[in-house]
Structure 1
């Protein structure tokens, strides 16, 4: 890595110092990174890849195999890359490379890994086209046949699937995948009990078979045990974190249990990690839809359709939002699209009927619902309520009563429909029969009013739902649900203040209700009542210490108010109570960063990654924190892991390129930037960074080639002008280069371009203009230490040491711990004011105790102060740390001689002179050696 401190001038001479160029390098260091690692051959990459594979470091192996493939595309190399992806759990990439390797050169050893990756991707139908190699053991062949059997079962060919299953069972009956296939077959046959038995057997054989946990979750959902389903999905996601389907299932389980924060966390992972898949956008849209946040819901639902134009699941909800907003034509358009892609659902029939009702087309509404029930009577529980209500509300009482009676007789009626029939009978004066109908609802539903209210809420009939909540609250005044439903109905009617009072009343009656507290607190926030929201969430914390949802809300408010310490106090118990939840830990890291505690944020994120090692949000947050704390080299690993997880994400690749450049790996940065452009050729920021990096590496022709599209796309952009200036300077046209740099700086003042223009001016001998431009810049930007360093180094180079001393003193007045300024000022004052020079040198040493340049300066200042003993001690350390740098060795020899060790001085001088390298003090070193040898 390039030395970040400036070189000192030649020792004990009054000639001009030798460090201005290094200072210029320092000014550019933040943009350019450090020197690269040098090129490597295909054999080097493959050797490192094999070593990483043996150690189980598959992410690192992937990088080496990819580098090797860029050298030459060989089938064994691509096979190795596919296997590395397979072991790392990146099965999409594994399949891609294993299949390509197979087509390049058939390799029997690839078949089983390929089948395993296809299984993880649920692409089982492709395994059917593979032939098991002869060398497989019985167990391996049974595994392979089980994959094929499972694919056949899922494709509906249960007979052929059964045959393969029996073949597998004859070879090894105890395989987990075999039991999983049995479970899938039983599930599809409707034998839930047998499916459960087989799933248990699969998990007994392999407790880490994620697909078995997923199927267990599906079975639990069928049973109606969503909590148990969620637990199974949790385990499935833990085992297969990159599986979109598993996380989507878990997200919807959280959604149905109204764990909205957890559902949103899964949705966020899906949206950021798989933005091209509609599921994450849809889930986030459903969360907002459930919370009556229709504008946000619409945005996410539309995003899901952008990801997959024919994603039917989103269409009815978009139609419902358009209907709610009065956009009947758009609502109908979404329903038509849904209908064109498959069979209508109870929801779409309801929505279509509601559109007709909004248009006062009651006959059309009746026909839609009646035709639906005629062809699909099983939908009576979902549609019968609405059709009966339409009949009754439009005066068609006989038809409504007939529908209700028929539904009851055929066993399709809901408790709400029975209540509607009872109401018809009461209005006709038939009290006895009405009472009998009401009595028949007993035991069918724990709360028929609640069921009916929820029906009306779902259909947007908020007034009717509101009426029913009176009965719900009267029947159960100490239950939270009545107040929750009433508040929701009032919000639907846009009676926000009444909804707020309802939630408050409910919370007074049921003070321990988490749902009421969260609803009230969220509504207070929505209304802008931050103090009231804080009070609600704080009370919830008192009753439920560490409750994650309210803790995150409180922490979020504290952060936005600039109180990160308080945010951290709220989050600590939440993390303790829910240690596996991702979001509280991520918010905690933000709070710690806001407290200027980056090391604590790193520790928090490290603990997060121990629990979520392949969580994109956590990896990205870790890289971000490491960059902010000035440790880009520590950001490289999380970004490598992130790009390995998401190799097709251009944004992640670009961030990797940035940290590689900043950490001193320009060649690897270039590789990453080229990867960005291969993923998205239109990313001009990546092309600009590539041109810049190639330029700094001296690869002018390649830089010019990459610059072409950039210049064509934006010839007047300041970055383009600055890059054009670089090419002009490289060609020796200093006048044109300075002009181009000035034009770029005028549009966008950047110190980096200032430094490069300065270098051009100096090369052209335009010293006065170079200094004038620096001084003008510092008048406008007096707090810019980099520009002032550049001025100081230039003044030293010009021999204007008094002015340089003044410049460094101004720097230290503004930045008292600037090590470079302390070091350089100490050197300049070594003879003028040795006592002050020594003070500056010691302060620099205290701030950078391990840096050989700073130690060397201190040693020289001590020599000028006639303290050869301490000077020798300091310079011995500097020489050891600097890997025997000859100029430091020369100063050490002088110190040894001055301290009375002439033999040690002569021996050292012989060694550094024999190495043959050039250094500024070589002649002085030769003269001293000859003097000591006499």
Structure 2
């Protein structure tokens, strides 16, 4: 029987028995340290030196597969076969290359069912390849029969077991999928493909620890294997091992810089650490096409762009995210806020109204809809929105107060009296109005103004629920966490049904990493209000496999299986935890069926089915989504991609074409059309489609950047710059200016990027998105004065933007002089009050340290890093400096030791000097 296909190191070990060649020695050394690119180069040199050496050719084919270069792999596998290399091994390599190239039908023609003349080990490889080809064509019965025939031909071969495992998983037979993966590992414990398959199954079942162990074994065998590294990075990210995940991604990107999954995981690392600038770079590099294929890619992109003040791009991405998941309150709020920021209140109202009409019940979102309606003079609609908000959160006196005021303006005195009674609760001198003013000041990050409003209330009025919530918020903003907790607990004791107090206490618990307490408070909120998207969202953000937050979501779903908010949030958490089967069960629950017509839930149902390999179920759900919501671009895109996946490209195009007849300039549909063209005919076909769509009547403005977006997704930055430049010359827009700058940056042309942004600023001097991007480029080029001028303009335009305040404070802090520090401190304090994120705390901590207030700096940083671990080594060095200043030398040394594990970062020398002063050595 044939020995199973060996990984690259084993192939190279065979070569070691031949006369030694320097290139081969270097190839072995490069792969042993995980440098696959260098190993590939050395193998190419060896192949040129000894073109008829089949082992060299096979090794080059194998490593090319690992690097995502199937064309080279196919060519070299053919050469290995021609040179007399082991027929079964070479055939396995050829089949893997053909599958990677998507040539499934060609594979079935070239490798027919083996007859008796074909050696059994070769037959096993052919059957395994045919099984996977049939599977990709949705021919499941044929796929299973082929895989079983391969096992019968050679039970010791790895590939047929892996093929049968893949078939079983698609058919929903998880037990068989796991058994066959185990059989593959048993057949060859050094097969990286087998280990990856088994790790994937463990991960999908929520056994993240087992997945990590298997991936560790795979990387011991093949240290640079890109897919193994990416999968382990995802596992580590799930364990909140940011440094470990970052290390794996960096190795992967050195070997395969264009690997989309690695770039996406890197972007998620930056988002997790709230490193918005780095996240922006990573997500922009991925391109819109790739982001659309990820569950939260568009929302992550929109959030990052909004944090950086790039509102046009943020709004575009948020619109796509909302189209995909209309009840995801995060996307709805972000989109509406961006629309309102640019003065498009009608668009913002339409976004929020669509959320309400489809069953959204988040009180804050409904209240925002009411505010916009009222500001536009639509008082009846405002009353309806505030009534819905008040019904969603009955104990919210502020909402009742606002509802009372609107009803009074409508002349509805009876309704006004009812709402006022609920809001005032026996108070005097209109305490609700004062409380509303206090809450407004809190939302602006101005605790002093909020305290001033509360000071005008009587002691009795300050004991009302809303007043106590405001006081608790003020104390939390001032980092009096113990005091904030005491006030909120008192509010809860006085008002046992208080949603606001529980949410506030849950946030405090989260900031202190007390997940059990967070889960308890939010479970109580959901028990009282199953549609509270805020509570569900807080649980979702805290949920990890096996922790109390995920358990609380599952318990809430079991108690309220018909709640769309809880069902959607629970399913999202289960998908993130790698349990798509459980997510499908939640979304398929009988109690939810009357409300599953909600587009967001329906599309999540599609996602869950696809994640567990139930493609037929996914397509059925996707067709239902389109039938229920013909105008939903997200539903049409999902269906089109499922059709295209099984090579039904023409039907997929028809689905998109129907949508474009309804909304000819929908960017999601236009981009999907380009994607389908690429899948059907390759990059040239995609570019031709982009050009046709750009000329199509009604496709602008989105049609203008289709070609450039596709080229950016292909990492063809110079060509993308030319495409964006041509489109810009025909019709300049802000999105095109930003895209043109991004393309120039990707092509290594920062000066051209600066000029592109400057050209738009000459047209529109107060464009926040372009100002923020241009200021960032100025800082990178040490044009500090230019950056400050732009940040000053941004601050005037966005006075309550925590990110802008933080950036400006950081720039001022770098000067180091007393006047600049005095100017920076209130900015940084307000930024931290608005957004108590790690990077904002880092800025404030630095300013406080340089101002001589190390004790206050330590208080800030301990709040910013609730787990005691700064998210970046630079932050770690600054945290250590604060600790050293207040005399906590041991903890300072620990922080420095952890930070200095990172080989290279700007503050490393500073950290080494501080560690030496503390007696820790290098």
TM range, smaller chain: 0.3 to 0.5
Report the TM-score when normalising by structure 1: 0.40
